[in-house]
Amino acid sequence: MIAAGLTQRFKVDFDPNSQVFSLAGTIRPRSIDEIAESIHALREAIDAVRGVLYIDVKRLIQMNNTAFQAFIRVALDACRERSDLRLIVVTSSVVGWTTRMFRHLSTIEPQISVEVYDSMFYPGQDYFEDTSFIPILRAQTKLTWRHERDILPRHGMRPGIAMADICCGIGDFAVLAQKEFQPARIVALDHSKASLSYARNVATDFGVTGIEYTYGDASEMLLEDNQFDFVTCRHSLQVFNHPELLLKELYRIVKPGGRVYITNEKNSHCLGEPRAQSIQWTYNELARLLSHFEMDVELGPKSRRYLADAGFDDILVESFMVTNLDGDPQDFADIIAGWEKMFTVMAARHGEAPEFIDRFRQGFRDHIFAALHPKGYAGWPIWAASGRKPL
Protein backbone atom coordinates (compact mmCIF):
# COMPACT_ATOMS: atom_id res chain seq x y z
CA MET A 1 0.00 0.00 0.00
CA ILE A 2 1.32 3.47 -0.95
CA ALA A 3 -0.38 6.55 0.49
CA ALA A 4 0.26 9.91 -1.15
CA GLY A 5 -1.09 13.39 -0.64
CA LEU A 6 -0.24 16.95 0.26
CA THR A 7 0.95 16.05 3.75
CA GLN A 8 2.07 12.45 3.51
CA ARG A 9 3.85 9.95 1.35
CA PHE A 10 4.52 6.61 2.88
CA LYS A 11 4.28 2.86 2.40
CA VAL A 12 2.47 0.35 4.56
CA ASP A 13 2.95 -3.36 4.01
CA PHE A 14 2.17 -6.60 5.81
CA ASP A 15 4.02 -9.86 5.14
CA PRO A 16 1.92 -12.64 6.71
CA ASN A 17 4.61 -15.26 6.16
CA SER A 18 7.16 -13.53 8.39
CA GLN A 19 4.52 -11.62 10.39
CA VAL A 20 6.12 -8.25 9.63
CA PHE A 21 4.11 -5.02 9.41
CA SER A 22 6.23 -2.28 7.80
CA LEU A 23 5.91 1.49 7.89
CA ALA A 24 8.19 3.53 5.60
CA GLY A 25 8.52 7.10 4.40
CA THR A 26 7.02 10.26 5.91
CA ILE A 27 3.66 10.07 7.73
CA ARG A 28 2.34 13.51 8.68
CA PRO A 29 -1.50 13.48 8.56
CA ARG A 30 -3.56 16.49 9.66
CA SER A 31 -6.17 14.11 11.12
CA ILE A 32 -6.50 10.39 11.81
CA ASP A 33 -9.02 10.12 8.98
CA GLU A 34 -6.21 10.61 6.47
CA ILE A 35 -4.51 7.40 7.61
CA ALA A 36 -7.65 5.39 8.42
CA GLU A 37 -6.82 2.79 5.79
CA SER A 38 -3.34 2.24 7.25
CA ILE A 39 -4.68 1.99 10.80
CA HIS A 40 -7.16 -0.62 9.57
CA ALA A 41 -4.31 -2.52 7.94
CA LEU A 42 -2.48 -2.69 11.28
CA ARG A 43 -5.60 -4.03 13.00
CA GLU A 44 -5.97 -6.70 10.31
CA ALA A 45 -2.31 -7.65 10.67
CA ILE A 46 -2.68 -8.06 14.43
CA ASP A 47 -5.78 -10.22 13.95
CA ALA A 48 -3.90 -12.41 11.47
CA VAL A 49 -0.83 -13.22 13.58
CA ARG A 50 -0.13 -15.66 16.38
CA GLY A 51 2.70 -15.00 18.82
CA VAL A 52 4.96 -12.18 17.63
CA LEU A 53 4.15 -9.34 15.23
CA TYR A 54 7.23 -7.44 14.07
CA ILE A 55 6.61 -3.74 13.37
CA ASP A 56 9.41 -2.67 11.03
CA VAL A 57 10.12 1.09 11.12
CA LYS A 58 13.71 0.99 9.81
CA ARG A 59 12.71 3.21 6.88
CA LEU A 60 10.26 5.44 8.70
CA ILE A 61 11.79 8.87 8.06
CA GLN A 62 9.22 11.06 9.84
CA MET A 63 5.98 10.53 11.78
CA ASN A 64 4.02 13.32 13.47
CA ASN A 65 2.29 12.95 16.81
CA THR A 66 -1.14 12.44 15.25
CA ALA A 67 0.05 9.36 13.38
CA PHE A 68 2.16 8.03 16.26
CA GLN A 69 -0.74 8.19 18.72
CA ALA A 70 -3.10 6.53 16.25
CA PHE A 71 -0.85 3.56 15.48
CA ILE A 72 0.21 3.11 19.10
CA ARG A 73 -3.37 3.19 20.35
CA VAL A 74 -4.10 0.15 18.18
CA ALA A 75 -0.99 -1.64 19.47
CA LEU A 76 -1.69 -0.95 23.15
CA ASP A 77 -5.35 -1.98 22.87
CA ALA A 78 -4.31 -5.23 21.18
CA CYS A 79 -1.81 -6.06 23.95
CA ARG A 80 -4.49 -5.54 26.60
CA GLU A 81 -6.99 -7.72 24.75
CA ARG A 82 -4.58 -10.56 23.89
CA SER A 83 -2.14 -11.90 26.47
CA ASP A 84 -0.61 -14.21 23.83
CA LEU A 85 0.52 -11.29 21.63
CA ARG A 86 4.01 -9.77 21.58
CA LEU A 87 4.95 -6.75 19.49
CA ILE A 88 8.60 -6.24 18.56
CA VAL A 89 9.35 -2.82 17.02
CA VAL A 90 12.43 -3.03 14.77
CA THR A 91 14.23 0.32 14.50
CA SER A 92 17.49 1.52 12.99
CA SER A 93 20.22 3.73 14.44
CA VAL A 94 20.13 5.57 11.11
CA VAL A 95 16.73 6.98 12.09
CA GLY A 96 17.57 7.57 15.72
CA TRP A 97 14.29 9.13 16.84
CA THR A 98 12.40 5.88 16.21
CA THR A 99 14.42 4.01 18.83
CA ARG A 100 13.90 6.74 21.43
CA MET A 101 10.19 7.16 20.76
CA PHE A 102 9.17 3.51 20.48
CA ARG A 103 11.43 2.35 23.32
CA HIS A 104 9.34 4.49 25.68
CA LEU A 105 6.40 2.16 24.97
CA SER A 106 8.21 -0.85 26.42
CA THR A 107 8.28 0.94 29.78
CA ILE A 108 4.49 1.15 29.88
CA GLU A 109 3.58 -2.09 28.07
CA PRO A 110 5.72 -5.22 28.76
CA GLN A 111 4.33 -7.01 25.67
CA ILE A 112 6.07 -4.41 23.48
CA SER A 113 9.84 -4.44 23.01
CA VAL A 114 12.28 -2.63 20.71
CA GLU A 115 15.19 -4.13 18.76
CA VAL A 116 17.79 -1.93 17.07
CA TYR A 117 18.39 -3.77 13.80
CA ASP A 118 21.86 -2.36 13.09
CA SER A 119 23.24 -1.96 16.61
CA MET A 120 25.98 -4.25 15.28
CA PHE A 121 25.86 -3.85 11.52
CA TYR A 122 28.06 -6.82 10.69
CA PRO A 123 30.18 -9.21 12.80
CA GLY A 124 33.54 -7.57 12.02
CA GLN A 125 32.32 -4.00 12.45
CA ASP A 126 34.41 -3.26 15.55
CA TYR A 127 37.61 -4.05 13.69
CA PHE A 128 36.96 -2.35 10.36
CA GLU A 129 35.45 0.82 11.83
CA ASP A 130 38.27 1.32 14.34
CA THR A 131 39.78 4.71 13.50
CA SER A 132 43.28 3.19 13.72
CA PHE A 133 42.40 1.39 10.47
CA ILE A 134 42.08 4.70 8.57
CA PRO A 135 45.76 4.95 7.46
CA ILE A 136 45.50 1.43 5.99
CA LEU A 137 42.39 2.37 4.03
CA ARG A 138 44.08 5.46 2.62
CA ALA A 139 47.13 3.47 1.55
CA GLN A 140 44.92 0.81 -0.05
CA THR A 141 43.01 3.35 -2.13
CA LYS A 142 46.27 5.04 -3.15
CA LEU A 143 47.49 1.78 -4.69
CA THR A 144 44.20 0.46 -6.09
CA TRP A 145 43.32 3.79 -7.76
CA ARG A 146 46.26 3.39 -10.16
CA HIS A 147 44.35 0.42 -11.62
CA GLU A 148 40.75 1.47 -11.11
CA ARG A 149 41.02 4.83 -12.87
CA ASP A 150 41.58 2.83 -16.09
CA ILE A 151 39.04 0.11 -15.25
CA LEU A 152 36.09 2.29 -14.21
CA PRO A 153 35.17 3.71 -17.67
CA ARG A 154 34.82 0.16 -19.00
CA HIS A 155 32.20 -0.46 -16.31
CA GLY A 156 30.13 2.67 -16.93
CA MET A 157 31.86 5.56 -15.18
CA ARG A 158 31.71 8.77 -17.23
CA PRO A 159 31.31 12.53 -16.72
CA GLY A 160 27.90 13.96 -15.94
CA ILE A 161 26.30 10.89 -14.37
CA ALA A 162 24.55 10.51 -11.02
CA MET A 163 26.72 8.25 -8.87
CA ALA A 164 26.48 6.68 -5.41
CA ASP A 165 29.42 5.26 -3.47
CA ILE A 166 27.88 2.90 -0.92
CA CYS A 167 30.02 1.89 2.08
CA CYS A 168 32.26 4.83 1.17
CA GLY A 169 34.41 4.47 4.28
CA ILE A 170 36.79 7.41 4.61
CA GLY A 171 35.57 8.88 1.33
CA ASP A 172 38.86 9.05 -0.58
CA PHE A 173 37.49 7.03 -3.52
CA ALA A 174 34.57 9.49 -3.90
CA VAL A 175 37.00 12.40 -3.91
CA LEU A 176 39.20 10.76 -6.55
CA ALA A 177 36.15 9.91 -8.68
CA GLN A 178 34.89 13.48 -8.42
CA LYS A 179 38.24 14.94 -9.48
CA GLU A 180 38.90 12.46 -12.30
CA PHE A 181 35.46 11.88 -13.83
CA GLN A 182 33.36 14.87 -12.70
CA PRO A 183 29.98 13.20 -12.27
CA ALA A 184 27.03 15.57 -11.94
CA ARG A 185 26.13 14.15 -8.52
CA ILE A 186 27.86 11.93 -5.94
CA VAL A 187 26.18 10.52 -2.86
CA ALA A 188 28.64 8.81 -0.48
CA LEU A 189 27.01 6.66 2.21
CA ASP A 190 28.52 4.84 5.17
CA HIS A 191 27.46 3.42 8.52
CA SER A 192 30.47 4.79 10.41
CA LYS A 193 30.07 8.34 11.73
CA ALA A 194 33.82 8.50 12.42
CA SER A 195 34.61 7.55 8.81
CA LEU A 196 32.14 10.10 7.44
CA SER A 197 33.65 12.83 9.60
CA TYR A 198 37.07 11.92 8.25
CA ALA A 199 35.66 11.84 4.69
CA ARG A 200 34.32 15.37 4.95
CA ASN A 201 37.74 16.56 6.10
CA VAL A 202 39.42 14.77 3.18
CA ALA A 203 37.10 16.52 0.72
CA THR A 204 37.81 19.88 2.36
CA ASP A 205 41.58 19.26 2.28
CA PHE A 206 41.43 18.56 -1.45
CA GLY A 207 39.12 21.48 -2.15
CA VAL A 208 36.41 19.14 -3.45
CA THR A 209 32.81 20.24 -3.00
CA GLY A 210 29.47 18.76 -3.95
CA ILE A 211 29.82 15.25 -2.47
CA GLU A 212 26.72 14.42 -0.42
CA TYR A 213 28.02 12.43 2.56
CA THR A 214 25.20 10.45 4.14
CA TYR A 215 24.94 8.33 7.26
CA GLY A 216 23.07 5.15 6.44
CA ASP A 217 22.61 1.42 6.64
CA ALA A 218 23.67 -0.07 3.29
CA SER A 219 21.25 -2.96 3.65
CA GLU A 220 18.26 -0.69 4.44
CA MET A 221 19.00 2.60 2.69
CA LEU A 222 16.64 5.58 2.81
CA LEU A 223 17.61 6.46 -0.77
CA GLU A 224 14.75 6.22 -3.25
CA ASP A 225 14.46 3.67 -6.07
CA ASN A 226 16.08 4.09 -9.50
CA GLN A 227 18.13 7.24 -8.71
CA PHE A 228 21.66 6.58 -9.94
CA ASP A 229 23.39 5.81 -13.22
CA PHE A 230 26.35 4.20 -11.48
CA VAL A 231 26.64 2.68 -8.00
CA THR A 232 29.93 1.54 -6.48
CA CYS A 233 30.50 -0.70 -3.45
CA ARG A 234 34.18 -1.50 -2.98
CA HIS A 235 35.71 -4.13 -0.66
CA SER A 236 32.51 -4.28 1.37
CA LEU A 237 30.39 -7.23 0.24
CA GLN A 238 33.17 -9.51 1.49
CA VAL A 239 33.01 -8.26 5.09
CA PHE A 240 29.20 -8.38 5.44
CA ASN A 241 27.61 -11.60 6.59
CA HIS A 242 24.72 -11.18 4.13
CA PRO A 243 26.18 -9.71 0.90
CA GLU A 244 23.01 -10.61 -0.97
CA LEU A 245 21.08 -8.03 1.11
CA LEU A 246 23.48 -5.28 0.06
CA LEU A 247 23.25 -6.29 -3.58
CA LYS A 248 19.47 -6.18 -3.37
CA GLU A 249 19.69 -2.56 -2.19
CA LEU A 250 22.30 -1.62 -4.81
CA TYR A 251 19.98 -3.08 -7.46
CA ARG A 252 17.06 -1.07 -6.08
CA ILE A 253 18.71 2.37 -6.17
CA VAL A 254 20.40 2.07 -9.59
CA LYS A 255 18.39 3.16 -12.65
CA PRO A 256 17.26 0.58 -15.22
CA GLY A 257 20.16 0.43 -17.66
CA GLY A 258 22.57 1.71 -14.99
CA ARG A 259 25.41 -0.34 -13.56
CA VAL A 260 26.59 -1.50 -10.14
CA TYR A 261 30.37 -1.83 -9.73
CA ILE A 262 31.89 -3.95 -6.92
CA THR A 263 35.41 -4.93 -5.92
CA ASN A 264 36.37 -7.84 -3.71
CA GLU A 265 39.47 -9.85 -2.89
CA LYS A 266 40.71 -13.41 -2.79
CA ASN A 267 43.17 -13.19 0.06
CA SER A 268 44.49 -16.74 -0.28
CA HIS A 269 45.97 -15.59 -3.63
CA CYS A 270 48.17 -12.94 -2.00
CA LEU A 271 51.73 -13.79 -2.89
CA GLY A 272 55.33 -12.81 -2.47
CA GLU A 273 58.86 -13.80 -3.33
CA PRO A 274 61.11 -14.57 -1.52
CA ARG A 275 59.62 -16.56 1.39
CA ALA A 276 56.60 -17.60 -0.66
CA GLN A 277 55.70 -20.64 1.44
CA SER A 278 55.39 -18.70 4.70
CA ILE A 279 53.33 -15.98 3.00
CA GLN A 280 50.99 -18.50 1.38
CA TRP A 281 50.38 -20.30 4.68
CA THR A 282 49.39 -17.10 6.49
CA TYR A 283 46.92 -15.95 3.83
CA ASN A 284 45.30 -19.38 3.65
CA GLU A 285 44.87 -19.22 7.42
CA LEU A 286 43.60 -15.64 7.19
CA ALA A 287 40.73 -16.74 4.95
CA ARG A 288 39.88 -19.47 7.43
CA LEU A 289 40.11 -17.12 10.41
CA LEU A 290 37.84 -14.46 8.90
CA SER A 291 35.21 -17.06 8.04
CA HIS A 292 34.71 -17.37 11.81
CA PHE A 293 33.75 -13.68 11.76
CA GLU A 294 31.29 -14.39 8.89
CA MET A 295 33.49 -12.64 6.31
CA ASP A 296 34.33 -14.12 2.93
CA VAL A 297 37.63 -12.60 1.79
CA GLU A 298 37.65 -15.18 -1.03
CA LEU A 299 34.59 -13.54 -2.62
CA GLY A 300 36.37 -11.87 -5.57
CA PRO A 301 35.92 -14.62 -8.20
CA LYS A 302 32.38 -15.25 -6.94
CA SER A 303 31.33 -11.71 -7.96
CA ARG A 304 29.80 -12.82 -11.26
CA ARG A 305 27.55 -15.33 -9.51
CA TYR A 306 26.45 -12.85 -6.86
CA LEU A 307 25.60 -10.22 -9.48
CA ALA A 308 23.67 -12.72 -11.60
CA ASP A 309 21.72 -13.99 -8.59
CA ALA A 310 20.79 -10.39 -7.74
CA GLY A 311 19.21 -9.94 -11.19
CA PHE A 312 21.89 -8.04 -13.11
CA ASP A 313 22.76 -8.77 -16.74
CA ASP A 314 25.65 -7.84 -19.04
CA ILE A 315 28.07 -8.73 -16.22
CA LEU A 316 31.70 -7.71 -16.70
CA VAL A 317 34.49 -9.20 -14.57
CA GLU A 318 38.20 -8.45 -14.53
CA SER A 319 40.99 -8.76 -12.01
CA PHE A 320 44.15 -6.87 -11.23
CA MET A 321 47.14 -7.34 -8.96
CA VAL A 322 48.23 -4.53 -6.65
CA THR A 323 51.99 -4.95 -6.23
CA ASN A 324 55.01 -3.44 -4.57
CA LEU A 325 55.95 -2.11 -8.01
CA ASP A 326 52.90 0.23 -8.07
CA GLY A 327 54.88 3.24 -6.88
CA ASP A 328 56.70 3.34 -3.57
CA PRO A 329 57.14 -0.23 -2.17
CA GLN A 330 56.84 1.24 1.32
CA ASP A 331 53.15 2.00 0.62
CA PHE A 332 52.55 -1.70 -0.02
CA ALA A 333 54.56 -2.62 3.10
CA ASP A 334 52.50 -0.18 5.20
CA ILE A 335 49.28 -1.89 4.14
CA ILE A 336 50.59 -5.31 5.14
CA ALA A 337 51.87 -3.96 8.46
CA GLY A 338 48.36 -2.68 9.16
CA TRP A 339 46.89 -6.08 8.27
CA GLU A 340 49.36 -7.81 10.57
CA LYS A 341 48.30 -5.64 13.49
CA MET A 342 44.56 -5.95 12.96
CA PHE A 343 44.35 -9.62 11.99
CA THR A 344 46.67 -10.70 14.81
CA VAL A 345 44.27 -9.07 17.28
CA MET A 346 41.38 -10.92 15.66
CA ALA A 347 43.27 -14.23 15.86
CA ALA A 348 43.94 -13.70 19.54
CA ARG A 349 40.31 -12.86 20.26
CA HIS A 350 39.25 -15.95 18.38
CA GLY A 351 41.36 -17.99 20.79
CA GLU A 352 44.15 -19.14 18.50
CA ALA A 353 47.20 -20.63 20.26
CA PRO A 354 50.31 -18.45 20.79
CA GLU A 355 52.31 -20.76 18.48
CA PHE A 356 49.77 -20.23 15.71
CA ILE A 357 49.78 -16.47 16.19
CA ASP A 358 53.59 -16.33 15.98
CA ARG A 359 53.58 -18.24 12.67
CA PHE A 360 50.57 -16.25 11.43
CA ARG A 361 52.34 -12.96 12.15
CA GLN A 362 55.56 -14.15 10.51
CA GLY A 363 53.78 -14.59 7.17
CA PHE A 364 52.80 -10.92 7.12
CA ARG A 365 56.35 -9.93 8.03
CA ASP A 366 57.70 -12.09 5.23
CA HIS A 367 55.24 -10.37 2.86
CA ILE A 368 56.68 -7.01 3.94
CA PHE A 369 60.20 -8.40 3.45
CA ALA A 370 59.28 -9.44 -0.11
CA ALA A 371 57.77 -6.00 -0.82
CA LEU A 372 60.88 -4.14 0.32
CA HIS A 373 63.50 -6.60 -1.01
CA PRO A 374 65.41 -5.03 -3.93
CA LYS A 375 64.65 -8.10 -6.05
CA GLY A 376 61.37 -9.01 -4.36
CA TYR A 377 57.79 -9.13 -5.64
CA ALA A 378 54.64 -8.89 -3.53
CA GLY A 379 51.05 -8.97 -4.74
CA TRP A 380 47.46 -8.50 -3.55
CA PRO A 381 44.77 -9.64 -6.06
CA ILE A 382 41.45 -7.85 -6.52
CA TRP A 383 38.44 -8.62 -8.69
CA ALA A 384 36.43 -5.76 -10.19
CA ALA A 385 32.97 -6.60 -11.53
CA SER A 386 29.86 -4.79 -12.65
CA GLY A 387 26.37 -5.67 -13.77
CA ARG A 388 23.62 -3.78 -15.57
CA LYS A 389 20.11 -3.45 -14.18
CA PRO A 390 17.79 -4.64 -16.97
CA LEU A 391 15.67 -2.01 -18.74
The pLDDT, as a whole number, for residue 101 is: 85
Average pLDDT over residues 297-322: 97
The pLDDT, as a whole number, for residue 335 is: 93
Contact 97, 63 (CB under 8 A): no
Q: CA–CA separation, 139 vs 144, rounded Å?
A: 9
pLDDT greater than 80 at residue 197: yes
Coil, strand, or helix at residue 22? strand
Average pLDDT over residues 314-326: 96
pLDDT greater than 90 at residue 96: no
More confident residue, 209 or 382: 382
Give me the percent of the chain exceeding a pLDDT of 90: 71
Helix and strand counts by DSSP (H, E) for the chain: 12, 14
Enumerate long-range contacts of 45-51, CB under 8 Å, 24 or more apart. 45/14, 45/16, 45/19, 45/21, 46/74, 46/75, 46/78, 46/82, 46/85, 48/14, 48/16, 49/16, 49/19, 49/85, 50/84, 51/19, 51/84, 51/85, 51/86
Give Cβ neighbours of residue 335 (< 8 Å, ≥ 6 apart).
Answer: 136, 139, 140, 143, 380
What are the pLDDT digits (tens) for 146-169? 999 999 999 999 999 999 999 998
Give me the percent of the chain exceeding a pLDDT of 70: 94
Mean pLDDT, the chain, rounded, equals 91
Residue 129: count of CB within 10 angstroms of its CB: 18
What's the pLDDT band for 6 if we cut at 50, 70, 90? very low
Integer Rg of the chain from CA? 24
Q: CA–CA separation, 239 vs 182, rounded Å?
A: 29
| 4: β partners | 9
The pLDDT, as a whole number, for residue 99 is: 85
Average pLDDT over residues 290-319: 96
DSSP codes, 350-368: HT--HHHHHHHHHHHHHHH
Contact 122, 294 (CB under 8 A): yes
Average pLDDT over residues 48-71: 91
